[in-house]
Chain A
Amino acid sequence: MANIATLTDGVLQRNPAWAQLLGLCPLLAVSTSVTNALGLAFASMFVVIGSNVSISLLRNFIPQFARLPCFVLLIATFTTVTVMFLEAYAYDVYTRIALFVQIIVTNCMILGRAEAFASRQRVGAAFLDALGTGIGFAIALLALGAIREMVGQGTLFADLDLLFGPWAGSFAITISETEPLRLAQFAPGAFLIAGLLFAFVNALRSSTSKQKSM
């Protein structure tokens, strides 16, 4: 049961986006559409799982004084591998989000999980923690991506074929034909929508925890 708690904690209680406010730079920059958000979500999840598992495996060998350089080296390795595979197999998405995939290295969400959890726990727990963190980040990315795409472009799931091949192209939905609110596509819109979304989620969380305590 403790394992399930590790997983759900990462998704809900310690969600990197709305509970810890970590990794906001790529979150706000890339969540302009569902396709871009999915691309970054996959990339981040792969890196956080890879780094957490390898750091947990090596936790008894990594010398204490050099642990941060080791963590960063491992995270950078997994990020570079992700960048290579993304460029090879999803080139169009890569050209749109390349820069933000590369800076996953400096995403404090990943280094945070490595230092606070993976370096002290068994491999299984570290894997579940990484999976939970990755899913939590993906949910936040997708929610923001969906809202910003609907409001800012008037579409949903557009260009999914760039990620999954031609069969996914038919998922694209046009929500409205009228001129969309372009603000949602730019940085100020990202902050506004993310702020409202996080406030909504946190209000929901505090109201459910109050009910529990009563």
Chain B
Amino acid sequence: MLRSLITLACIGLGAGSLLVVSNELTKERIDANRFAQTRQLMAQMLGEDLPKEVDLETLHRCQFSRQTVQGYAGSIDLLGLWRVNQVSLRVTRHLETPGIGTFIDHTRNPWMPSQDAKSQSQWANLDTVSGATITTNAIKRAAQSVFKDMSEQSCG
């Protein structure tokens, strides 16, 4: 019995160390990839190229807001653009069920772009997509968080 337990612990330890090593090897590139994707998305949402040396912090504070909400199958990361009391959203990462919750992904479905530039009450009264109540509610929560974030900021 003891021998089995020690073997299992060793296998677990080995698998864990393999994960740690590959995480160390890939972390930098993965972060760079996600950062590039976010920048590209920001430029797309603004409808203009970002300046090369843009201060993302400033942009974040006054126009963009990053949100993470709990979806049906894991967390959903979103980028919100605030313009004169109207908010547009894009999903940057999600784990929703393909074909059911993936309508929130703007690369697969025009649903999210069709909700662009909605006011706070419009977002609150968004129609629930049938079969994906939890996903829709997560998006609604994210939109409200963007409005809350922006009302707390003071941007010239």
Stretch from A87-95, A113-121, A170-178, A192-200 that touches the partner: A87-95
Q: Is B51 an interface residue (CB 8 A)?
A: no
A81 at the B interface (CB under 8 A): yes
The 8 Å CB contact of B8, one of A29, A66, A85, is A66
- Decide: B30 and A29 in contact? CB cutoff 8 A: no
Tell me the B1-53 residues at the A interface (CB within 8 Å).
4, 7-8, 11-12, 15, 18-19, 22-23, 25-26, 29-30, 33, 37
Residue of B33, B98, B99, B107 with highest tally of chain A CB at under 10 A: B33
B99: chain A residues within 8 A (beta carbon): 187
Closest B-chain residue to A86, C-beta based? Answer: B26
From B7, B18, B25, B29, contact of A62 by CB (8 A): B7
Contact A91 B98 (CB under 8 A): no
* Interface status of A166 (Cβ within 8 A of chain B): no
**Given A62-B7, A73-B11, A73-B15: A91 and B23 interface contact (C-beta under 8 Å):** no
Give the interface residue-count category, chain A.
20 to 34
CB pair A91–B4 under 8 Å, yes or no, is no
Interface residues of B, count at CB 8 A: 20
Known A-B contacts A63-B7, A84-B22; the reply to A73 vs B12 at CB < 8 A is yes
**How would you classify the secondary structure of chain A's contact residues: helix, strand, loop or mixed?**
helix
Residues in chain A near residue B22, CB distance under 8 A: 80-81, 84-85
Given that A29-B98, A80-B19 are contacting pairs, would A87 and B33 also be in contact in the complex, using a CB cutoff of 8 Å? yes
**Chain A proximity mask over B71-95: 1 for CB below 8 Å, otherwise 0:** 0000000000000000000000001
- A15-71 with Cβ < 8 A to chain B: 29, 58, 61-63, 65-66, 70
Closest to B8 in A: A66
Across-interface contacts of A61 in B (CB, < 8 A)? 7, 11
B11–A74 touching, CB < 8 Å: yes
B4 proximity list for chain A (CB < 8 A): 63, 65-66
A108 contacts the other chain (CB 8 A): no
Q: Is A99 an interface residue (CB 8 A)?
A: yes
The docked-state distance in angstroms from the alpha carbon of A80 to that of B26 is 12
Bound-complex Cα distance A36 to B82 (A): 35
Give the complex CA separation of A65 and B98 in angstroms.
35
Kindly report which residue of chain B lies nearest to residue A76, judged by CB atoms.
Answer: B15
